[in-house]
Structure 1
Amino acid sequence: MTKKAAILVAGGRGSRMGGPVAKQYLPVAGEPVLMRTLSVFYHVDPAIDLILVLPQNDFLYWKELCKDYQFTIPHRLVAGGNSRFQSVRNGLNSLKPETELVAIHDGVRPFVKQEVIEESFEVAARAGSAIAVIALKDSIRKLRDDGKSFYEERQYFRLVQTPQTFLVEKIKKAFAVTELQQFTDDATVYENQGWQVTLISGNAENIKITTPEDMDYAEFIAAKQLSDR
């Protein structure tokens, strides 16, 4: 059986949330965001190696939070770096030698569908990569330096989500470089090697919780999921 891992990156301080507690630790429908995210990956594959990348100073707080919520899903903690790139690289360096596929996911995206995760592993095993994306609904315009704007055909664009899943040997090679400004996500690091990424369909509910408004929407999604069961 292919050995899989998931690196959940949650190294941010949550400054845009405007409160004393970072967004990844806030409860949604009674359960902290990170616990929800870990649970989704665990239920896809209970044998998956779950790696949670957090600021080193948050380790004790997280362990106490797990005790408070009686959260027992097995996972490993890895210290984050000064940037997302460095945090992901720390996670990659912690992978077990036998790991063949790894999904890299934003810890504050707790509503990714299990089917998206499953497909990401299946496609990455064949193609080397699998990047979750969704189509745009709104019209878009491109701004120029002179202040003018012009229309763009939205069908040629996609919004990028996570998970972004890869063959381990390829993504580790991709991250063995100096960090560059254009590395906005894992796909751009992979592409820097000259490799084309493969896109898969994500899900619209897979929001990245960043602001207080996102928390309100997250509560709505969680309530809807509960009522749909």
Structure 2
Amino acid sequence: MKKVAIIVAGGSGRRMGTDLPKQFLLVHNKPVLYYTLQTFLSAYDDMQVVLVLGEEYVDMGREIIDAWFDNERIKITIGGPTRFDSVKNGLALVEEESIIFVHDAVRCTVSKELIQRCYKTALETGSAVPAIKCSDSLRLLGEDGNSEALNREKVVLIQTPQVFHSKILLPAFNIDYKDWFTDEATVVEAFGMKVSLVEGEKNNIKITHPLDLEIAARIIQP
């Protein structure tokens, strides 16, 4: 089955305290985005990528592609005001029945094994969303300022890539946007479909704060 990865790279550097968006910061002298693209393209020889960028950063994205990758395997489109809009713009370039991966560009330590595991599950069930168990104690905050303990055995932390058959994901993104759409799984569930969870990876971190960049540098072998 055709494979398409929608790499969402429209974030800013606000929480990193930098003017440059996180996906362009350097790890071992290469941008974060390089490692994400490299892993997806090497996971399957027939993987195609749609890279979703903020309009002002398209030229930087093209420079990365021209320097290290095959232009024929990567398309660029412009992001929107929300993640939902950005993913929808990427999906507009999917022209054939496919297994579609949606991944945060700043999860640059994703492994080929996780990508392949998600693909196999999505082929069987129509969806694959990686999740890891929570090791911390959890509390739910109430509107009155009080809190209550949650059973962490019933809570998982969701990662990307979130992977779906195109027959599920494409029509799901035709529904109206809601503020609580935080990822593709919530959109698909709002469309009336269940999602399948697969085992995620602790090392599949999201670059959000300066410390995350240091951790990524330790995970990635130069």
Relative to the length of structure 2, the TM-score reads 0.95
How far the C-alpha of 1:66 sits from its partner, in A, is: 4.2
State yes or no: 1:72 paired with 2:69.
yes
Alignment of 1:41-120 (within 5 A): 41-67=40-66, 70-73=67-70, 74-96=73-95, 98-120=96-118
Write the distance in 2 (CA, Å) between the matches of 1:5 and 1:66: 17
Paired letter, 2:43: V
Q: How many matched pairs?
A: 220
Identical aligned pairs, as a percentage? 39
Gapped regions of structure 2 (runs ≥ 5): none
Write the distance in 2 (CA, Å) between the matches of 1:42 and 1:17: 27
Using the TM superposition, name which of 118-127 and 80-89 deviates more. Answer: 118-127
Alignment of 1:69-218 (within 5 A): 70-73=67-70, 74-96=73-95, 98-218=96-216
Paired letter, 1:200: V
Relative to the length of structure 1, the TM-score reads 0.92
- Give RMSD over aligned pairs: 1.3
* Stretches of 4+ aligned residues off by more than 4 angstroms: none
Paired letter, 1:80: G
Gapped regions of structure 1 (runs ≥ 5): none
Match for residue 4 of structure 2?
5
Verify the 8 A CA contact 2:10 2:52 in the aligned structure 1: yes
- Secondary structure, counterpart of 2:216 in structure 1: helix
Alignment deviations for residues 153-178 of structure 1 (CA, whole Å, 9 cap, x no partner)? 10100000001000101101100011
Alignment deviations for residues 16-56 of structure 1 (CA, whole Å, 9 cap, x no partner)? 11112111011111211111001111111121111110012
